[in-house]
Structure 1
Amino acid sequence: MGCRVSLLEDDGTGVALVDERSRTGALSKRKSPLNLDKIIWKADIPMNRSQLELQRKAFWETAPAYDGDAECWAALRAVVSACTTDPNAVQTLLDSSGLTIPTGKLTEGAYDERGRKYVVPPYCLWDPENLLEESGDKAGQEEEEEGEGEEIKVLVRLSTNRDLRFLCYTTDRLSSLNRRICEKEGVPTDAQDLVTIRYLKLGRILDQTLRLRTLIKSGEPNMVLQAMVTLPEGKGPNLEVDGEDDSKEGV
């Protein structure tokens, strides 16, 4: 049978038994150095520096809405930033945050004093090995015209769970879907420029200047995108699906 080593401590009201291993273990975890050994990872969809920074910003802004404490997320963001700007301040920031990292790796989870877990994805810490050059990403694209190339079927799933289907071309830019979505959703023409649409694929916010051909994988028959639509006040769309969904035309 295992042996439990305990200490006698006087807390002012009596004598309490304290597990020495758990107490010293907790302290060692809190004081363990942060492990920032680089993780080699590859983005499912190649991205350039601007797109990577956009994805990072989106993560830090939305993470508190899903789970955990906003102050803890802010502390982790400061820690990640300090890793590149002020490495000497990293441990101080961690100690003051009250967070513990059992393995020393942010990608495997940090815990607050209530036991809630906070995981920082690799893309917030390191660049992907297939990061595109900004200049190279745009090179050659200006030579192509939209409406050319191969036809492609695109399904856009709105945040309202309504699916819209479009027939596009591989040379079309992602932004070309904006007006078509507004038309399907009944947004008046004079209000369409006020609509904000953000597209996501595999959880990543996409740059709308991208050509559709860069977003579809080889052998993928159709493209599926998610779209978060922000509408101008008082210019609401037709969110009701009236019988047959006419958005399937052309597909």
Structure 2
Amino acid sequence: MGGCVGRYWEGWEDSQSRGSSRNAGRGGRNEPLKKDRPKWKSDYPMTEGQLRSKRDEFWDTAPAFEGRKEIWDALKAAAVALECNDHELAQAIVDGASITLPHGTLTECYDELGNRYQLPVYCLAPPVNLISERSDEDPSDSPEAPVAPKKEFQLKVRLSTGKDLRLSASMTDTIGQLKKQLQAQEDIDAAHQRWFFSGKLLTDKTRLQDTKIQKDFVIQVIVNLQALQAPQLSPTTTASLSPSE
């Protein structure tokens, strides 16, 4: 799969339960999502690539066994937002999907039908003994960084609004350049876009070749819906308003 936020706005009202366990005794208790992320230590030092693979395996297989896929997608999106310290967005996703949190964490939660969902700790935070695969310096800052041949392809992008689309891209393109392309195509200001791949926030200077993205993988874009929904006044309208108005 390769992406980090699923199509979590689609089909919630029409979905059906797939036989996951139910908890009739939870009594409707619902706590706000806690800001603190769990701290844990892996049994062995884990690389970023191993963590990505472990997460991808879970998110790819979990919906196949129990629960509703759209709820799993919402939980995945909330987990990514929470890891990126966007608690407000994570809470909005949980509320929008009518997910109940008895303990205020994503480790155990329920949908509106009473189906139970459990997220492993490695999907919510990296281990304290994580091994970094690259230096703290942005690879794009180095003039000697290897540059892949400029060969264009169709990049799959999934918006948090539930819309899928494709952008013409090359491995040498930066995320900042792709944000501008998305802005021109969908009228979404680049400042209101946050791009993620394999659970990691992509900076504007990051090149696609640095993300190790492969064919048919999906990059997730979280759109600041509040900014998009804010009333916009045209210059003409603004100029016509007097101070008293």
**TM-score, normalised with respect to structure 2:** 0.45
Tell me which of the two structures has the higher relative contact order, counting C-alpha pairs closer than 8 angstroms and 6 or more residues apart: 2
Question: Based on CA coordinates, which of the two structures has the bigger radius of gyration?
Answer: 1
More strand by share: 1
More helix by share: 1
**TM-score, normalised with respect to structure 1:** 0.44
